[in-house]
A = this chain, B = another copy of it.
Amino acid sequence: MPTTDTAPQHALRGLKVVECATVIAAPLCGRLLADFGADVIHVEPPGKGDPLRKFGFTKDGINPWWKHYARNKRFVTLNIPKPAGRDVLIRMLADADIFIENFRPGRLEEWGIHYEDLAKVNPRLIMVRVSGFGQTGPYSSQPGFGTLMEAMSGFADMTGFPDGPPVLPTFALADSFAGFYAATAAMFAVYNRDVIGTGLGQVVDVSILESVFSMLGPNALVHQMTGEVPARTGNRNTTSAPRNVYRTRDDRWIAIAASTQSTAERLFTTMGQPELIEDPRFADNTLRVANADELDPLVGAWIAEQTLDDVSALLYANEVPAGPINNIADLKVDPHAIAREMVVAAPDGDGEPLEMEGIFPKLSRTPGAVRHAGKDIGSDNAEVFAALGLSADEIAALEQDDII
């Protein structure tokens, strides 16, 4: 397994980012930047630290979420609600490019931190604000957990089976979209400031609700045109058939997506049932979608007679789009995943290197690097605070007062 800690070039070298953020959207934004060489300083409360350090489970001192989402960053402690902490933060932001925060809207302002004041000190500052509902609107002060956004955005209502409940994801789906919006928009603001050359930063208001809502497709327009809302369709979809997952003889699953007429015809031929091509129930895609209740059992019965390996090879040879339902153990031994370095081992101090995804996407000239997994609390205090111009005595006093 490769340890990619020696990439020569970083796309974002010199980009200074300060991140006061936790589970999970905003730290993902910082991670996307850090992977490509931005200097992302993660700020967390002294003592208890970032709750992400204790997310899910921790084993032998290693928390997988922390090690994963905090990789490639630097780590300082700072008690922002206290005036002395706030003052150090403002000092850090004086020459920062981007400030990422995900406090409940209004919280920073309660502590006396306002964008307008920061911009007077550093007009170039781009402030990326991630919250459940956004900085404005009637729900803005409510807590914004990803689960609620997956419920309220429309995601859950359109996921799952017609006769079952709405289905939530089991990973940070809404937060991930929000993390991407945050990183993308931050770079748009950098472009405006540095390439167009306005020299001015601005506030980027990322709502997790809007982030997932906007990825669900043209539901607003379909509703305007037809009065209909998206139905739960299980593993089928409304645009093509057959499209489903099917169980194999060896109790694995395979997905098939025959999205064009020619792929459906190749599938029927491969199944040894070319008569289905002319069958009036399945003769074109519209008919196949309408009659999926009759079509899926035919495909399913054929798949059920074969092993995953056999049927995969057969479908591949006949150019029918199909793919196994993999889990992470499957991917770790998949030849393509290995060739693409989808999983790499991140250096973790004196410990064993930790497995996590490689750096995506692949940039030919500035590929970025996995330099290290998430580190211990306060790991970079001395270096970062000294670079701010604080003396050893001043740093000791801040420690004494629980400010850092």
Contact = CB atoms under 8 A, between A and B. Distances in A.
B137 A323 contact: no
B142 A316 contact: yes
A295 interface: no
Contacts of A331: 152-154, 213
Nearest to A185: B361
A151 B323 contact: yes
A355 interface: yes
B327 A154 contact: yes
Q: What copy number does this chain have within its complex?
A: 2
A347 interface: no
A181 B360 contact: yes
B325 A157 contact: yes
A172 interface: yes
Nearest to A263: B143
A354 interface: yes
B194 A328 contact: no
Nearest to A62: B225
Given A147-B259, A154-B326, A190-B191, 19 more contacts: A59-B226, A60-B225, A62-B225, A139-B336, A143-B319, A165-B235, A172-B215, A173-B173, A184-B184, A187-B188, A194-B195, A202-B365, A203-B363, A210-B342, A220-B328, A221-B354, A222-B328, A223-B332, A223-B355
Interface stretch (A9-17, A77-85, A106-114, A389-397): A9-17
A214 interface: yes
A201 B156 CA distance: 40
A102 interface: no
Interface string A212-240: 01111111111111100110111101110
Contacts of A336: 133, 137-140
Contact of A225 (B59, B138, B223): B59
A307 B209 CA distance: 23
Interface of A: 11-15, 32, 36, 55-56, 59-60, 62, 64-65, 67-69, 133-140, 142-143, 145-154, 156-161, 164-173, 176-177, 180-185, 187-192, 194-196, 200, 202-207, 209-211, 213-226, 229-230, 232-235, 237-239, 243-245, 247, 253-255, 257, 259, 316, 319, 321-329, 331-332, 335-336, 339-340, 342-343, 354-358, 360-366
Contacts of A200: 365
A116 to B, nearest CB: 11
Contacts of A154: 326-328, 331
Contact of A190 (B195, B223, B253): B195
27 contacts: A56-B238, A133-B340, A137-B336, A138-B336, A140-B336, A147-B259, A150-B255, A153-B331, A159-B170, A165-B235, A165-B247, A168-B243, A170-B233, A171-B216, A176-B215, A181-B361, A183-B184, A187-B191, A191-B194, A202-B365, A204-B364, A206-B360, A214-B357, A220-B328, A220-B356, A224-B355, A230-B327
Contacts of A360: 181, 206-207, 210-211, 214
A205 B14 CA distance: 23
A64 B206 contact: no
A152 B233 contact: no
Contacts of A329: 223, 229
Given A148-B322, A151-B323, A195-B195, A355 B65 contact: no
B172 A217 contact: yes
A348 B34 CA distance: 40
Contacts of A254: 151
A254 to B, nearest CB: 7
A145 B259 contact: yes
The 6 A-B residue pairs whose C-beta atoms are closest, nearest first, are A187-B187, A151-B255, A68-B218, A148-B323, A180-B180, A147-B257
